A and B are shown apart, each in its own frame.
Chain A
Amino acid sequence: MAKIIIPTPLRKFTDNKSSFITNATTVGNAIQDLAKSYEPLAKHLYDDQLNLRSFLRIYLGEDDINLLEKSETLISENDVISIVPAIAGGSNSKIIYQARNY
C-alpha cells in the first residue's frame, strides 16, 4: 500500500488527516481514490474537465511524475506520493507605496 501526503491547505477537506493509504497501482488511480474518499476535496484536485488542477504537482518520492509516466506512473508498496501546490505571488508592477502607520 502506498501513502499520499496531503498538503496542509487541503486538509480541511480530509477531516484534518495528513495522509491517506491507497491500494491503487498507479499514481493517477491513487489520487482518484483519495478524491472519492473525500468528496469535497475533488473540486480542489480536478478542474471541470477532470484534469488535475494546473497549480498542483504530484511527486512520487522526490520525483515529479511529469518526468516519469505522469498519471500512469506505477507505484509500489511503501511508496510516498505528495500533492504539492504552487506557491507564488508578488507585489503589483507599479510602485504604489505611501508611508503610513505600521
Chain B
Amino acid sequence: MKTVIKISNRIIKELIQDAESSYPNEACGFLYGADASIRSIVHFEPVINSQEGDQRRRFEISTLDYLKTERRALDTGLDLLGIYHSHPDHEAIASSHDLEKALPFFSYVIVSVLKGKAEQIYSWRLFDRYRSFYQEELLIENLIISPNK
C-alpha cells in the first residue's frame, strides 16, 4: 500500500509545540483537510487527553469531543482525516496499543518526543484486511519523509 499525506510546515510546528508542551504526557488532536490522491492536512486542533491514569503511555479522546469534531467538520466542509498523538521517549512508530484501537481511513500522525524535544514525525494508516499499519509517505512542504525500508 502506498498513500501520501501532505502537512504544511505551519501545522508541523503546531504539532511539535503541542507535543513538547504536553511532555512527559501524550498529546493528541484532530487533523482536517481534503482527501485526494494526496491527502492534504490544512487544519490541526489539539484536544484534551482524557485517558484516566498514566498519560505518559496512553491517550484517549472523549466520545463527546469526537462527536463535536465530526459535527464541526460537517459544518466547515473539511474532512476529518486523521488523529495526531505523541510518543514521549518512544519512537514515532505505531505501537500495538495504537493498532488495537486503530480505525480504517484515518491517518495516524505520531510525533516522538525525547526528553522534551520532538525528534521524529511519521504517519501511519491501517491496512484493514491484515489488521496492521503501513507507513505513509509524509510531505512537509519541500521535505519528504519516505517509509522506512
Stretch at the interface among B3-11, B37-45, B79-87: B79-87
From B121, which residue of chain A is reached at the shortest CB distance?
A102
Number of B interface residues, CB 8 Å? 46
B26 touches A85 (CB 8 A): no
Chain B's nearest CB lies how many Å from the CB of A64?
7
A9 touches B58 (CB 8 A): no
Chain B's nearest CB lies how many Å from the CB of A62?
7
Q: Tell me whether chain B's interface is mostly helix, strand or loop, or mixed.
A: mixed
From A19, which residue of chain B is reached at the shortest CB distance?
B74
A-B contact count (CB 8 A): 111
A89 touches B98 (CB 8 A): yes
Interface status of B34 (Cβ within 8 A of chain A) = no
- Quick one: which of B58, B70, B97 contacts A8, CB cutoff 8 A? B70
Chain B's nearest CB lies how many Å from the CB of A85?
6
Interface status of A57 (Cβ within 8 A of chain B) = yes
B73 touches A89 (CB 8 A): no
A82–B66 Cα distance when bound, in Å, is 10
- Quick one: which of B58, B79, B104, B119 contacts A89, CB cutoff 8 A? B58
Asked whether A89 and B112 contact (CB < 8 A) given A5-B70, A9-B106, the answer is: no
Asked whether A8 and B87 contact (CB < 8 A) given A84-B63, A91-B26, the answer is: no
0/1 interface trace, chain B 52-80, chain A, CB 8 Å (1 if under): 00000111110110110011011000011
A8 touches B95 (CB 8 A): no
Interface status of B149 (Cβ within 8 A of chain A) = no
Q: List 17 A-B contacts (CB under 8 A).
A: A8-B73, A9-B103, A9-B105, A64-B63, A82-B71, A84-B67, A86-B60, A88-B60, A88-B61, A88-B97, A89-B58, A89-B97, A90-B59, A90-B87, A90-B97, A97-B112, A98-B91
Q: Which residues of B contact A (CB under 8 A)?
A: 26, 28, 51, 57-61, 63-64, 66-67, 70-71, 73-74, 79-81, 83, 85, 87-92, 94-98, 100-106, 108, 112, 114, 119-121, 145
